[in-house]
A and B are shown apart, each in its own frame.
Chain A
Amino acid sequence: MIRIKSPLLRWLLIGLAISFSVGLLGLSFWLVRLDQDVRARYAGVRWVLPAQVYASPLELYPGARISVTELRRELERLGYRASDELTGPGTFAVSGSELRVDTRAFAFWDGVQPEMRLAVKSDASSLTSLRAMGSDASIDLLRLDPMLIGSIYPSHSGEDRVLVKLSEVPPLLPATLIRVEDRAFADHFGISPKGILRAAVSNLFGGKGRKQGGSTLTQQLIKNLFLSNEQSYGRKINEALMAILLERHVSKDDILEAYLNEVWLGQDGSRAIHGFGLASQFYFNKPLNELRPAEIALLVGIAKGPTVYNPRKYPERVKDRRDLVLQLMEDGGLIRDDEREAEALTPLGVLNSVAGGVERYPAFIDLVRRQIKGLYREEDLGSEGLRIFTTLDPRAQERLEARIIADLPDLEKNRQLKPGTLQAAGVVTSVEGGEVLAMVGDRNVRYPGFNRALDSQRPIGSLAKPFVYLAALADPGRYNLYSSIADEPIDLKMPNGSHWAPKNYDRQLHGNVPLHVALAKSYNLPTVRIGLDIGVDRVHDLIEAAGLQGPPRLPSMFLGAINASPLDVAQIYSTLAASGYLTPLLAIREVMTKEGQPLSRYSFQLKQTLPEGPVYLTTWAMQKVIEFGTGRWAVSVLPAGQKFAGKTGTTDDARDSWFAGFGSDRVAVVWVGRDDNKPVGLDGAAGALRIWGRLMRDLDARGIDLTPPAGVEEAQIDPVTGLLADAGCAAQVTVPFLSGALPKDYAPCANAGQSSPLDWLKDIFR
């Protein structure tokens, strides 16, 4: 034994021994604490799972109004691939008028739609047959998987992801990931000394080139989950220790699954693309299990650095990286040599633009966000992975967008306006059910900025007039569609002493006009005359009953001094279109948990708030707007033989150009104007009507059912006097009246006397 003579040295050694023991003790405590910390933190890992938002699914059935050509387009939008034969879910093949498709399975709110191989035939406009392949049995009905149109992610972190399970991903993905990132993953205990050594050597001799990580997947996961991005030895040591500890508690599979869901794989503005599930949608617009080996190689390749390896920005660099990963796949025996060669020849296949995401349908997603906000807590929306099924009809949306994109430049050219001067917004809803099918809030339809469809509050002008006429027609003792209304000057002394003297839009007076003509031609003076007679309160109440709260109780309201958004207008016109039944316009159908459990469903809600008979008469007059009134241009584009009802709206100096109208199944509202509220020189007919008419045609909207409802009778009328006509009259028109309120008298042209056959028959049926 060595005797230490120097007392100084002895004390020094004793001191060292003590500090070592204390240090060891401290380290032990530190490790125990770190272990608890790792366990607690890992157990508490809550994947930030933004709510996923889906469009409405396409229903396929014999008779569905979609041709094979359009169906093909729908499938491509959903990321289905065309090929010569079906090779698995998400593929289709077209031969002549027949389309075969292998549909994806999807868990809907009311059950799972299994994968199916279908053969579909159509004529030019609709499906004629739908069969399961290998069977002659016709299929009544089938839903395609709905399109993922976006997610509601927390604004603070911007993390977006679609959770996947290890058991559900193609095995090639984790195998490739291990091959590329951490070959010894299966054997190491959290860190890989060999890997660290290799990295150290490489970094030492590799100069300033690429630095090797040497981190295991476990270490990378620890870093991504718990640690900052800071590059320091302290952090590195912590990371290594935590990785070792984590491996003691968690299985390799769990670590791998967590990694697959955590890794950052791209950026979309403020939205961070996390996990392979979302990345697959983000880059290829299809689910993970439909990826080809080259696509898996690409995703694994860019995990190294999604900024440097951004396939949309640096396609060549990414192709090199992908091909390198394919080589590693082959080296590891994951794919064959000939497979690698074939895969390396394929293009990257990355979509040019972002497939889903709020950037695609920003106005509609905005509406979904607002409607869901009151129903769920913000943090749950951003993190609980709710699945929100919406009413968006991608085909209607596409048509609305196409019209606004195509028609605004034409309108500008016609009015010699500088390109880009005009702005527009549009809404399409279903008549029964009040579902918002399409929405555009900016002529740049992908721009997620100011949403004019919801937030632009503009005077609605003559769009208010149908409610004045509705109020009149609900009073059958005084008004019917042929009541004669004087189109004469009005000068109204207001309570504040000022005078209100409205003028007609054409500055002319038209003498006595039949009531429906005054609406069809949008004359202001007869409208004000009727409104004053019926009363501001009645008209006000009808507008509120139709679904727009708080119109000012002033006579100027008759001419539309009411500020409203296009969606507000769609609401009140929907109530007219649905025969007086108010259905609050909705964008959400169902909400499910991420596990597929139904959470809430928003069923059709309706309530009759307007009287059906007078609504029918008003709608009849609104058809005249298109037949011969201010909207007659639409006749040139709408399908012949079908009736649509609508109304132009123009505000002072033509600052706002509106058209709102409907058939039996669709309501559409279009606004055109300028953000600075300067005159655009377009009235409703010259501006919004052009978009609306073509839109209704493109939507394949159906015309109005002309059968009068209960409480309405039709009679033959002499158009000159508005009185009953018979064979003696040269001109006769069929006009609806509220039951019991038919004209009593015959027109002078009628040869019928007191004992006319009409009276006789009427007595029978009275």
Chain B
Amino acid sequence: MIPFLTVTAARKPRVLTTVALIAVALLAACVAQPTVPTRPESTQQTQPPALPPTSAPAETIPPLLPTQPPVRPQPSAESFPKTLAAAGTGPAVLALARQAQTFRSAGRPQDALGQYERALRIEPKNAFIWQAMAETHLALHNVEQAESAARKSNSLARGNPWLELGNWRVIASALGVYGDSPAAQAARTRADEIGSALAASGGGGAMPAAASAVP
């Protein structure tokens, strides 16, 4: 009947990205410091605990009271879930993730993003969904969103090395789009460190399916 004006669709501006970019530029300095935390705890798991040469103090000093942290026992890599399904995800979010995977396989990444967003409305802190979103953005060459979603996933990963591995790979690829910058190299190094630590820990290179989907 009435042909829709495609002009308007083409004019859709990337207002959001612009706003975010401006804000970021204004704050580059203070952002820089904590976004790439160097937290080697996951790699530490893989080596025998570096006990001090003398274990004597452990005997002579009474065991720590329960009220005395700051030391939490560091969980081993195997204690972290490797996949969405193992992470206590509810059936609704699993169904959406499956649907999204179908869309991705069918070459419909935009539709996949929509499913991941539905999933995040139900489980907003699900780091696996954030990671899947990051990968989908990467496939769409939305490198900024790929990087941001991967960092978000890292923020929510709470030390899960399987997730961190995948996220650093996404970040490395996203940053690599602009050339082999130091930031891209650092991200790749980070991914490699986690990857070799996981391999050494006996994971046998069993990478989570999600991480292997990274191009």
Chain A residues proximal to chain B, CB less than 8 Å: 46-47, 59, 61-64, 109-110, 138, 140-141, 374-377, 380, 384, 430-433, 435, 474, 538, 541-542, 544-547, 579, 581-582, 584, 586, 589-590, 593, 595, 597-614, 664-665, 705, 707, 709-711, 713-716, 726-727, 732, 734, 738-739, 742, 755, 757-758, 760-765
* Majority SS at the chain B contact face: helix
Binds A, one of B87-95, B193-201, B207-215: B87-95
**12 extra interface residue pairs, beta carbon distance < 8 Å, beyond A545-B26, A711-B34:** A59-B121, A581-B148, A581-B152, A593-B4, A603-B113, A606-B145, A614-B34, A709-B158, A710-B39, A711-B39, A727-B67, A764-B52
Q: Establish whether residues B114 and A110, one from each chain, have CB atoms under 8 Å apart when the complex forms.
A: yes
21 pairs, CB–CB < 8 Å, chain A vs chain B: A61-B92, A63-B90, A63-B92, A141-B95, A141-B96, A375-B11, A432-B125, A433-B124, A541-B30, A544-B27, A581-B148, A584-B16, A593-B4, A605-B16, A605-B145, A609-B24, A611-B30, A710-B39, A711-B34, A758-B70, A760-B57
CA A62 – CA B124 in complex, angstroms? 17
Cα-based distance from A312 to B61 in the complex (angstroms): 84
CB distance from B156 to the nearest CB of A (A): 8
- Is A714 within 8 A of B8, CB to CB? no
Which of A141, A586, A727, A734 has the most C-beta atoms of chain B within 10 angstroms of its own C-beta? A141
Which residues of B have CB within 8 Å of A606? 20, 145, 148-149, 152
- Docked pose: A380 CA to B8 CA in angstroms: 9
B65 at the interface (CB under 8 A from A): yes
Interface residues on B, range: 35 or more
Instruction: Knowing A61-B91, A609-B20, say if A545 contacts B158 (CB, 8 Å).
Output: no
Report which residue of B5, B122, B155 has the largest number of chain A beta carbons within 10 angstroms of its beta carbon: B155
Contacting residues, chain B, for A435 (C-beta < 8 A): 121
Check if B176 is an interface residue, CB within 8 A of chain A.
no
B70 CB contact (under 8 Å) in A433, A590, A612, A714? A714
Q: Of B9, B68, B95, which is within 8 A of A726 by CB?
A: B68
Q: How far is the CA of A256 from the CA of B50 in the complex (A)?
A: 85
- B110 lies within 8 A of chain A by Cβ: yes
With known contacts A46-B2, A59-B122, A433–B117 Cβ distance under 8 A: yes
Taking the complex as formed, is B101 at the interface, i.e. its CB lies under 8 A from any CB of chain A?
no
The interface bits of chain B over 106-138 (1 if a CB of A lies within 8 angstroms of the residue's CB, else 0) are 000011011101101110110000000100000
Give which listed residue, A538, A545, A601, A664, contacts B31 with CB less than 8 A.
Answer: A545
> Which residues from chain A contact B4 at a C-beta distance below 8 Å?
384, 593, 595, 597, 599
A612 to B61, CA, bound (A): 36
Interface members, chain B 141-194 (any A CB < 8 Å) = 144-145, 148-149, 151-152, 154-155, 158-159
Of all A-B residue pairs in the complex, the 9 with the closest CB atoms, nearest first, are: A61-B92, A545-B27, A140-B95, A432-B124, A607-B20, A605-B16, A611-B34, A141-B92, A710-B37
- Choose from A110, A610, A755 the contact partner of B111 (Cβ within 8 Å): A110
Q: How far is the CA of A545 from the CA of B2 in the complex (A)?
A: 44
- When distances are taken between beta carbons in the complex, the residues of chain B under 8 Å from A765 are 71
Chain B residues with Cβ under 8 A from A664's Cβ? 124-125
Distance, CA A665 to CA B122, complexed state (A): 10
In this complex, what residue of B is CB-closest to A664? B125
Residues of A within 8 A of B155 (CB): 579, 581, 612, 709-710
| Residue contact B91 to A62, C-beta cutoff 8 Å | yes
B204 at the binding interface (Cβ < 8 Å): no
Given contacts A611-B34, A714-B69, A760-B52, A109 and B114 within 8 Å (CB-CB)? yes
B93: shortest Cβ distance to chain A, in Å?
9
Q: How far is the CB of B114 from chain A (nearest CB, A)?
A: 5
CB atoms of A734 and B2 under 8 A apart: no
A756 CB, min distance to chain B CBs, angstroms: 8
Contacting residues, chain A, for B90 (C-beta < 8 A): 61-63
Select from chain B the residue with minimum beta-carbon distance to A759: B57
Q: Which residue of A lies closest to B94 (CB)?
A: A140
Q: If A603-B113, A764-B52 touch, does A140 touch B152 (CB 8 Å cutoff)? A: no
Residue of A nearest to B74 (CB): A765
Q: How far is the CB of B189 from chain A (nearest CB, A)?
A: 17
* B120→A604 contact, CB < 8 A: yes
| Interface pair A607/B26, CB less than 8 Å apart | no
Across the interface, which residues of A come within 8 angstroms of B158, CB to CB? 707, 709
**B15 beta carbon closer than 8 Å to chain A:** yes
Q: Whole-angstrom distance from the CB of B196 to the nearest CB of chain A?
A: 20
User: Which residues of A have CB within 8 Å of B133?
Assistant: 604
Instruction: List chain A residues, Cβ under 8 A from B30.
Output: 474, 538, 541-542, 545, 610-611
CA distance A578 to B177 in the complex (A): 27
Please indicate the chain A residues that have their CB under 8 angstroms from the CB of B24 in the complex.
545, 582, 607-609
* Residue of A with least CB distance to B65: A727
Q: In the complex, which residues of chain B have a beta carbon less than 8 angstroms from the beta carbon of A608? A: 24, 31, 35, 148, 151-152
Chain B residues within 8 Å of A726, by CB: 65, 68
**Which chain A residue shows the least CB distance to B18?**
A584
Are A542 and B27 touching (Cβ within 8 A)? yes
Q: Which residues of A contact B144 (CB under 8 A)?
A: 607
Contact call B125/A607, Cβ cutoff below 8 A: no
Quick one: closest B residue to A49, CB to CB? Answer: B2
User: Closest Cβ of chain B: how far from A42's Cβ, in Å?
Assistant: 12
Q: Report the Cα distance A590→B154, complex, angstroms.
A: 28
Contacts of B61 in A (CB 8 A): 757, 760
Q: Is the CB of B68 within 8 A of A716?
A: yes
Cβ A59 vs Cβ B2 within 8 A = no
Q: Is B8 a contact of A715 with CB atoms below 8 Å?
A: no
Neighbour of A713 across the interface among B23, B31, B70, B96, CB < 8 A = B70
Distance A164 CA – B89 CA, assembled complex (angstroms): 42
Q: Measured between C-beta atoms, what is the minimum distance from B183 to chain A in Å?
A: 14
Across the interface, name the chain A residue whose C-beta is closest to B12: A600
- Residues of B near A761 (CB, < 8 A) are 64, 71
Q: Are A603 and B114 in contact (CB under 8 A)?
A: yes
- Does B33 count as interface, using CB distance less than 8 angstroms? yes
| B71 CB, min distance to chain A CBs, angstroms | 5
Contact B95 A374 (CB under 8 A): no
Whether B26 lies near A541 (C-beta < 8 A) is yes
CA distance A597 to B151 in the complex (A): 33
Residues of A near B113 (CB, < 8 A) are: 601, 603
Assess whether A584 is in contact with B20, with CB atoms less than 8 Å apart: yes
Question: What residues on A are CB-neighbors of B52 within 8 Å?
Answer: 760, 763-764
- A601 near B49: Cβ-Cβ < 8 Å: no
**Chain B minimum-CB-distance residue to A729:** B67
- Residue from the set B8, B115, B145 with the largest chain A CB neighbour count within 10 Å: B8
A132 to chain B, nearest CB (A): 14
B21's partner among A141, A375, A607, A738 (CB-CB below 8 A) is: A607
Is A376 a contact of B67 with CB atoms below 8 Å?
no
Given A433-B121, A716-B69, A380 contacting B5 (CB threshold 8 A): yes
State A597–B4 Cα separation when bound (angstroms): 10
A595 closest partner in B (C-beta): B4
Q: A59 and B68: CB pair below 8 A?
A: no
Given A376, A432, A581, A599, which contacts B120 in the complex, CB threshold below 8 Å?
Answer: A432
Which residues of chain A come closer than 8 Å to B21, judged between CB atoms?
607
Partner of B8, one of A63, A109, A377, A612: A377
Contacts of A64 in B (CB 8 A): 92, 122
Q: Which residue of B lies closest to A752 (CB)?
A: B61
